[in-house]
Structure 1
Amino acid sequence: MTDPLDFTGRRVLVIGGSSGIGNGIAHGFRQRGADVTVTGTRPDAGDYLEAEDSDFTGLDYRQLDLTDRLAADRLAGLVAPFDVIVQSQGAVRYKRAEFTREGWDSVVDVNLNSVMDVARAFHAGLAETRGVMIIVSSVAAFKSTIGTPAYAASKAGAASLTKTLGEAWARDGIRVNGIAPGLVPTKLTSVTTDHPERLEASLRAIPLRRMGTPEDMAGAALFLASPLAAYIIGQTLVVDGGLTLS
């Protein structure tokens, strides 16, 4: 019997796969036989090794700065079509910086505008492979985040975009779904995870009483990319240990 989670021979691209959730998802696919390419903003993978908790073992690295609105188109023109594309790029600005126009624009550009830029750039390739796109948003899409309005609004926009692309591109043979992670220790959540009192308060709100891991998110991505999810489109799977249940 064929293993539905065997991705041997499949080509996977993880945008933002240089660290955090994206890196965990990339290795989830690699460990199941996929040929995985990851992107990051720095010129070379080696630039990450001392600064961040990154692992590029067995991964192909490409530089991609999505603040350049044409960068995704250029990358798409340089690579063969992918079977799976995971969009895991993300930005947040604390200390009420997102209430300013510059702060708002910079976060929305990464968390929402670039998601559509990537989707548009790789649409033809995914249609050719009858592939899968997975958009990583956040549980912030479904609640207030009082200090980061652009983050919450852009993630809500990404979850909404997942629905629309799921419906619009099904006719092209492309399945689009999403993942909404809860609290996972990454550079974006270090404002909470690096402070014991804040972390303890956050853990009390999570029924499973632990943070999520990049591996938890990888499990959800593998499911959504697999034949097990063949009849699922336009959905965002909440992976938060129960955080948003009450």
Structure 2
Amino acid sequence: MSDLDFSGQTVLVVGGSSGIGNGIAHGFRERGASVHVWGTRPTAKDYEGIEGSDLTGLAYACVDVADRAQINAEAANIPALDVLVLSQGTVVYKRGEFEPAGWDHVMAVNLDSPMACSVAFHDKLARAKGSIIIVSSVSGYQSNRGNPAYAASKAGAVSLTKTLGEAWAKDGIRVNGLAPGLVATKLTAVTTEHPDRMAGALRAIPQGRAGTPQDMAGAVLFLASPLAAYVCGQTLIVDGGLSLS
């Protein structure tokens, strides 16, 4: 059996309804896992026709992860869990994160909710000797002058990965992270859907292309697999070389 065979395992991808999370969810599904995804729209049908969203073969639930009560209520509906992928994220443009409402919303989704989800599933993951993968961003390692909450929350996610990695290793839970570079999703449309901005962004990436959700899925599959059995508290940067200079 392959080390990347997840047959018989249960995986939850928070934020798995579209974009990077959706690519990760299908990566696990294609390798035999039973995959749950949480998203923000009322039903799976509400994602039909949306680019970057395919809920075929995935068990969907609507959960507002900014609300701890919703996290805890839906967590009770998943009796056992082997892998928790925290791929939720939001951003507020036009300097909205400099205002209290924008700051609070981004921090609630990008930093508070990964902690709340991790705590909600701790005991189930401990029983399974499972793993958590926290998706942050290369923005967690550098300035993002227009989005202070996004950058700070992603830096916090990197630190949270280290801290939970150390704290929960004794419980048999491996906690690691993924820091994507530029991937075409709804959060990066402000760049990817504008040719001049996109051309400038690509010039800064040594590999000369944006990443794909499948690129991110490959890294997460590795981190969740026995191939990464001795990897603990680390965030893997997957950015085509963007952060090298």
User: Hey, what's the Cα distance between the residues in 2 that align with 1:49 and 1:93?
Assistant: 25
Give SS of 1:135's match: strand
Deviation at 1:193, TM superposition (A): 0.1
Matched with 2:39 is: 40
User: Hey, what's the Cα distance between the residues in 2 that align with 1:239 and 1:128?
Assistant: 30
Q: Is 1:240 the equivalent of 2:239?
A: yes
Deviation at 1:53, TM superposition (A): 2.9
Give SS of 1:36's match: strand
Residues 22 and 52 in structure 2, CA contact (< 8 A), matched pair in contact too: no
Matched with 1:61 is: 60
Give SS of 1:85's match: strand
Give SS of 1:161's match: helix
User: Hey, what's the Cα distance between the residues in 2 that align with 1:175 and 1:193?
Assistant: 34
Give SS of 1:43's match: coil
Mind listing any 5+ residue stretches in structure 1 that lack a counterpart? none
Give SS of 2:187's match: coil
Deviation at 1:112, TM superposition (A): 0.2
- The one-letter amino acid paired with 1:91 is T
Q: Is 1:213 the equivalent of 2:212?
A: yes
User: Hey, what's the Cα distance between the residues in 2 that align with 1:51 and 1:223?
Assistant: 28
Deviation at 1:52, TM superposition (A): 4.3
What CA deviation, in whole Å up to 9, does each residue of 1:146-192 have, x standing for no partner?
A: 10000000000001000000000000000000000000000000000
User: Hey, what's the Cα distance between the residues in 2 that align with 1:29 and 1:241?
Assistant: 23
Deviation at 1:78, TM superposition (A): 1.6
Matched with 1:24 is: 23
Matched with 1:113 is: 112
User: Percent identity at matched positions?
Assistant: 64
Aligned length: 245
- The one-letter amino acid paired with 2:133 is I
Matched with 1:168 is: 167
User: Hey, what's the Cα distance between the residues in 2 that align with 1:7 and 1:137?
Assistant: 24
User: Hey, what's the Cα distance between the residues in 1 that align with 2:226 and 2:66?
Assistant: 34
Give SS of 1:189's match: helix
Q: Is 1:155 the equivalent of 2:154?
A: yes
Normalising by structure 2, we get a TM-score of 0.99
Matched with 1:133 is: 132
- Deviates further, 51-60 or 4-13: 51-60
Residues 66 and 112 in structure 2, CA contact (< 8 A), matched pair in contact too: no
Residues 165 and 175 in structure 2, CA contact (< 8 A), matched pair in contact too: yes
Deviation at 1:51, TM superposition (A): 4.0
Mind listing any 5+ residue stretches in structure 2 that lack a counterpart? none
- The one-letter amino acid paired with 2:129 is R
- After TM superposition, the structure 1 = structure 2 runs for residues 97-112 of structure 1, keeping only pairs within 5 Å, are 97-112=96-111
Deviation at 1:50, TM superposition (A): 3.0
Normalising by structure 1, we get a TM-score of 0.98
Deviation at 1:63, TM superposition (A): 1.2
